[in-house]
Structure 1
């Protein structure tokens, strides 16, 4: 239902005079003002604002940023889709970098330029509306679909990734993909390349964890003839091989510190020197990197350079695990059966109910890669037409851990949506079958689907 209500802007500011000034500046918005963290969190839960402007200097630490960053973290924990615009007069550059790294959408410096701030806030509202609309449309399709040229999903969580890829691909910025092993990081890197203006150029991938440290520098930067024993000819590296295209650095967290310095120089100056060479070679290539490691923890432990991180992570795309994509495990299992069944064992035609139960209950620590391997093995080992839980080598029961509960209403809504999506996935979109699985009538299921904007 369309709403004529004004968009809600939460202003977290302890300076009463400045808060009044901001309220006057946004007459076309419903402005809610909070002077400290407790009031901000109460207003966030009550009004659910799309955008928040946050002064980092809040009591009881008005001259520092401790309380401001704590407020930022709590806001994003409760409502991660909220666009938080951070303001600070305390060490502007350092605070800005840290706020963006911790999830803020944008920042502005004090003293405030109202025209500039209006532009930032208007852009934040616009992006939030786009994301909300995209999420609403994505939720309307629980059936399996192929996105990004190869990802099979029916989950809004992956649709959001696809939308971000579509936006980021045309921009010539470095992208960091964060996600557990087996979530499809290289496939998404290829999608970024294919959708970019560089799509006609080469896509060169290198797994930094699979190459010994002593050889990694030569692999990346190349070497001149005679640079080391066995270097019988001049060999260009992967960076040169990706000229005019995209270089994908998988498991970038495994690059040793000494080599991180050389990679940083390339990112800053866009020139390289081959091992054993002195000629500066200019190379135009886009960098996409990925890791399953906790980069923040590595930076704190001085195992990954912070300046390199900000060069590599101009845009960060977080890829959800399979356990965070309700319904997708069943959709993917059916897809892999169709893909591999005819070649491996044409006798197998589907999954038994206990297999579907086991697939939905399993936490999938190996994500999509584990699921595909289990399905392929089950197809080979199955004695019957229908694959059972025993063929998948999965126990019955259990399940993925639930996410953080924000409040009772949100928990109920999330549980309802996940249950409906699971039922629709299991019944392949058949409303009557889904209603029976849920133990409710068809009219009740239709009402719930309408409330949550779901369709079969």
Structure 2
């Protein structure tokens, strides 16, 4: 039994009845109208997948009906039936959106085949529309979720710097969403439609990182059988995102500094200068100021990269966002795994809020995905959490000190614990403690 619904339109009653029997025998749900006006009334009230209509009718012709159908039900396919003398008009109808035209006298096999093909296209178009909506949703999965002051501050800075070409350094622990912030910058920039190349500097061995970034000429080293352009050249005109920038070797740091200063570099094995117009966004989970002090990171490169610093706060610094994030990931993974999950129990949500989240948002995402897969009753409960999560060290919301502790020691501990909670964000720490940022630097 076909589930498609076909509307047949013809002012010749005998011909209409013949078509009704034909398509009913093929298993379709059939509606019929003795003219264009009647067909229009049906279309306004009933969902229809395909209209098969005569071209020449006294009250409302097939061409006029076609135009009205494409206005009120654009997803509906239309097949025109016509005599030989009006083939030219039928061809014009196809330009107006008709799927096909059939010449009279109608051959059973011809019209049945044409109807099946029209319905197949209609189904494919509908399926494509659903897929596009799903893709749009998937794009929205990778977005920044949160309303807490630390994340709103980061988003505000992103919106401010995005339209410019300024170099941005994203700092923060692993799993805090630095790449999402980078993508947000690109999506709001004038380079949005240009190349966006991402490089994980920690994932590439030091021996090949330089050639990956800047390319090489044929014969530059053993195995270099042909010229290869690097990531910077591929990103020309657009943006390059250098994740884990603190992992760069001294040699690569020198070459990167030249790109930032001069906008040029040389491929390995070549003396030819290559000019590029690339915006650089870098990210690190290391303390680059400490790396400078130990000699592992060049001072001049740091200041070139750190034109604007945007800090991705640790999840423990924005626990108010945990419920929002948990529900966000719940919706995503319930849909991906075709599970009907109603929500998260209140006691579980409290456990999630109190957890310290050493793996940050990435850890929360993985935990929710696991809970969705293991859930048995449609509501995420304690049994769906990893063993021992509820007894793990909680995120410290209070600080206890023994009586008799000196004020100097109390002050030191408060500053240290607040810095931990904010992911070493000194400006946010100062704001929370109600002091100037320079006071925090001086106390440290």
Fold-level match, TM-score > 0.5? Answer: yes
Residue by residue over 1:94-145, the C-alpha shift from the partner in whole angstroms, topping out at 9 and shown as x without a partner, is: xxxxxxxxxxxxxxxxxxxxxxxxxxxxxxxxxxxxxxxxxxxxxxxxxxxx
* Alpha-carbon distance in structure 2 between the residues aligned to 1:359 and 1:226: 55
Match of 1:166 in 2: 159
Match of 1:302 in 2: 295
Structure 2 counterparts to residues 282-361 of structure 1, below 5 A? 282-361=275-354
Residue by residue over 1:274-304, the C-alpha shift from the partner in whole angstroms, topping out at 9 and shown as x without a partner, is: 0001110100100000000111111110000
Cα offset, 1:401, TM superposition = 2.5
* Alpha-carbon distance in structure 2 between the residues aligned to 1:350 and 1:401: 27
Question: Are the counterparts in 2 of residues 264 and 308 from structure 1 also a CA contact under 8 Å?
Answer: yes
Structure 2 counterparts to residues 233-272 of structure 1, below 5 A? 233-272=226-265
Match of 1:187 in 2: 180
Equivalent position SS for 2:242: strand
Cα offset, 1:147, TM superposition = 9.6
Cα offset, 1:346, TM superposition = 1.4
Question: Are the counterparts in 2 of residues 176 and 289 from structure 1 also a CA contact under 8 Å?
Answer: yes
Cα offset, 1:368, TM superposition = 0.7
* Alpha-carbon distance in structure 1 between the residues aligned to 2:150 and 2:208: 38
Match of 1:207 in 2: 200
Structure 2 counterparts to residues 364-375 of structure 1, below 5 A? 364-375=357-368
* Alpha-carbon distance in structure 1 between the residues aligned to 2:234 and 2:372: 40
The higher radius of gyration belongs to 2
1:198 equivalent to 2:191? Answer yes
Using the TM superposition, name which of 379-388 and 160-169 deviates more.
379-388
Taking structure 1 as reference, are residues 397 and 210 closer, same or farther at Cα in structure 2, changes over 3 Å only? closer
Cα offset, 1:349, TM superposition = 1.9
Cα offset, 1:204, TM superposition = 0.4
Taking structure 1 as reference, are residues 281 and 352 closer, same or farther at Cα in structure 2, changes over 3 Å only? same
Match of 2:390 in 1: 395
Residue by residue over 1:164-199, the C-alpha shift from the partner in whole angstroms, topping out at 9 and shown as x without a partner, is: 111111221110000110111111111111211111
Give the number of equivalent residue pairs.
266
Match of 1:445 in 2: none
Question: Are the counterparts in 2 of residues 148 and 188 from structure 1 also a CA contact under 8 Å?
Answer: no
* Alpha-carbon distance in structure 2 between the residues aligned to 1:157 and 1:198: 27
1:363 equivalent to 2:339? Answer no
Equivalent position SS for 1:152: coil
Cα offset, 1:389, TM superposition = 2.5
Question: Are the counterparts in 2 of residues 361 and 397 from structure 1 also a CA contact under 8 Å?
Answer: no
Equivalent position SS for 1:220: helix
Equivalent position SS for 1:227: coil
Cα offset, 1:203, TM superposition = 0.6
Question: Are the counterparts in 1 of residues 141 and 332 from structure 2 also a CA contact under 8 Å?
Answer: no
Equivalent position SS for 2:145: strand
